[in-house]
Each structure stands twice: as C-alpha cells, then as structure tokens.
Structure 1
Amino acid sequence: MKVAPTCLPAATIRAFESRGHDQTVDLGRALGRRLNHAITLFLIGDLGSGKTAFAQGLAQGLDVPPSYTVTSPTYTLINEYPGRLPFFHVDLYRLPEPVDADDIGLLDLFDEEGIVAVEWAQRLHPADRPAQRLELFFGIAGDASRSIRIIAYGLGPSDLLNDIDNWLPPSP
C-alpha cells in the first residue's frame, strides 16, 4: 500500500492508495488493531469504493470472531459485533438526506463504549457529527485501486494516525 504525502500534519490527515480489496482490508485491520477506546469512523464514498472491505478489516483488527460475517447492514441499518470493543457497523445508504441521527438512535450509539463505523455518513447533518472522530474518504482510482484519505478530528483520533504505515503489511 502506497502512502501519499500530504501538505497537512501527518497526525491530522493521511492518504493511502490501495491496489485491491486485500490492501483495503489490511488498512482497516491495521487501524482496528490500534483502537483501544470508543471512537466513531465516518466512511464516505461511492458504491464499490471500498467502505465495506475496510469495515471487514476493521472488524478483524478488533478481534471480532471469524464466525461472524461482516456485511454491509444496508437493510438492517445497524449490525453489532463482539470483539475487544463492541463494533457497531451502520449503513445509511437507504435513508433520505439529511438523516435524522436522533430518530434512528445514532446519537445514542455515538455515546456507546465501542467502535462505530458509519457508511454513507455524508447523509448526516454536520451538527450530528461527534467532535472526536475519523472521517475516511474512499475514491475509485482504477479497476481495483482505491484512494483512501483519513482525516482525524480531536487529539485522540489524530494519535491513531501516527505511524500507521508501520502497522501495514508491505505492498507486494
């Protein structure tokens, strides 16, 4: 996985290029291994851009048992998985914009002691976003390539991005 330089401090924003599904999963796993406290991640991108693959890796890094199949909760809205920390996987794709986060219990979920990954988070009103969070922007860069930009808001989330490339497996 290639790490792209940025003009902002490394602790605030990081950019990655994934050359395939497995590298996107690897990035999620690497970040999941570093998580040791509750945090919300917003996964933003078009269909097929890698959000669910990243969430699958995140679940692996959080030690969700392999007997659980992590899929996009498009029709159930929220899936909860056990792990080192509870993992809540949310998908807002089917909901109209702007999503009323309070009506669907999402604001309460942000206060849970677990990891909350929200696909299609761009459908949320900006006022409903927790102050400390990671926003991940997924872009399609080719047939299998994806660009992934991570922005950390708050001191704790910024610390998660320090040296993340040291946690990633080497590119083939």
Structure 2
Amino acid sequence: MLKININNITETEKVGYILGKLLTGGEVICMTGDLGAGKTTMTQSIAKGLDVDDYVTSPTFTIINEYQGRCPLYHFDVYRINDVDEMYDLGYEEYFYSDGVSIIEWADIIKEILPKERLNIEINKKDNIDNREIIIYGNGEKYINIIKLLSEKI
C-alpha cells in the first residue's frame, strides 16, 4: 500500500502521469472518493502518461469513453448506474479483460463484478480545499509491482 499526501492539483497530476507511464495494458484501476475529490483529474493525468492526446472528460452520462494512446484507455464513470446489470449490457468484460487500461470511477458501486486482481486508488479530501490523501493498493503481483515502481518515482 502507498499513501501519498497531496497539497495541490499539480501533485495529483504528477502522480497520475507517472502511474500512466508505468502501465503497459491489461490493467484495471478502481477509483473511489467523494464528489470533487479528484478522480477525473487523476484519470486525465494517467491518460497523459499513456500518451492519450484527446481531452479526457468524465463519462457521467455515457458511462464509458474510449481513448487511444500507447494502449487503449477505457474510462468508466458508474456513478449513475442503478444496477450492475447495466455493466453486463455494456459488455464490461470485453474492456476489463482486454489489452487496454480500464479506469473505473466510483468502482465501489460495482464491486461485485470487479476483477480480483486490480489497482485500487482511494482519494480523500483533507482539511484544505486542495489537500488530498491518495491511498493506492493492489490486489495481485502485477499491481503490487506497479505500486513499488510508483513509490520509487514520486
């Protein structure tokens, strides 16, 4: 597990960018945190690290946006789904078990269908408007290694 105290948005962007550079495809990243905690900012920065040129927006109403970079990026925002059956209708397994990177905002809403092996990112607001605590933990050797590399680079 890696805990990072963030003092401003630039530091959040740096963590996301470095993480994006470490990803090779086939990863699932599950994000949790309050509204406005920085999940989309983190996703945008991971996308930059994956060499995605497009502007990344939260797919609040479409549930998923797809981007091309070094590998495909599948950005899910499941805040508005009412039932995990909606994820089955989207064919989520094709994304989660592909050679792309799947990032799921509000992942706790669909926890029963998440892969066992994954990278979890929890973003918590602190006292100051810009301060955050980012907690990153992995399930599976691949993700534990990513966290180790990330901790060496930040």
**TM interval, short-chain normalised:** over 0.9
1:5 paired residue number? none
Q: Which amino acid aligns with 2:37?
A: S
Distance 2:151 2:2 in 1: 10
- Please tell me whether the aligned partners of residues 125 and 131 of structure 2 are also in contact (alpha carbons under 8 angstroms): yes
- 1:39-75 deviation line (CA, Å, top 9, x unaligned): 000010110001001001100000112xx11111101
* 1:37 corresponds to 2:25: yes
Q: Which runs of 5+ in 2 are unaligned?
A: none
2:4 paired residue number? 16
Q: CA deviation at 1:29?
A: 0.5
* 1:79 corresponds to 2:65: yes
Distance 1:22 1:57 in 2: 10
Aligned length: 152
Aligned ranges 1:1-172 → 2 under 5 Å: 13-65=1-53, 68-96=54-82, 98-100=83-85, 101-126=87-112, 128-141=113-126, 142-168=128-154
Distance 1:125 1:43 in 2: 11
- Please tell me whether the aligned partners of residues 29 and 58 of structure 1 are also in contact (alpha carbons under 8 angstroms): yes
Distance 2:152 2:145 in 1: 14
- Please tell me whether the aligned partners of residues 78 and 107 of structure 2 are also in contact (alpha carbons under 8 angstroms): yes
Q: CA deviation at 1:163?
A: 3.7
- Please tell me whether the aligned partners of residues 32 and 122 of structure 2 are also in contact (alpha carbons under 8 angstroms): yes
Distance 1:30 1:167 in 2: 7
1:4 paired residue number? none
Distance 1:45 1:93 in 2: 11
Distance 2:118 2:16 in 1: 15
TM-score, normalised to structure 2, is 0.93
Q: Which amino acid aligns with 1:86?
A: P
Q: Which runs of 5+ in 1 are unaligned?
A: 1-12
Q: CA deviation at 1:167?
A: 2.2
Distance 1:164 1:24 in 2: 13
Q: Which amino acid aligns with 2:24?
A: N
Secondary structure in 1 aligned to 2:19? helix
Q: CA deviation at 1:95?
A: 1.1
CA RMSD of aligned residues (A): 1.2
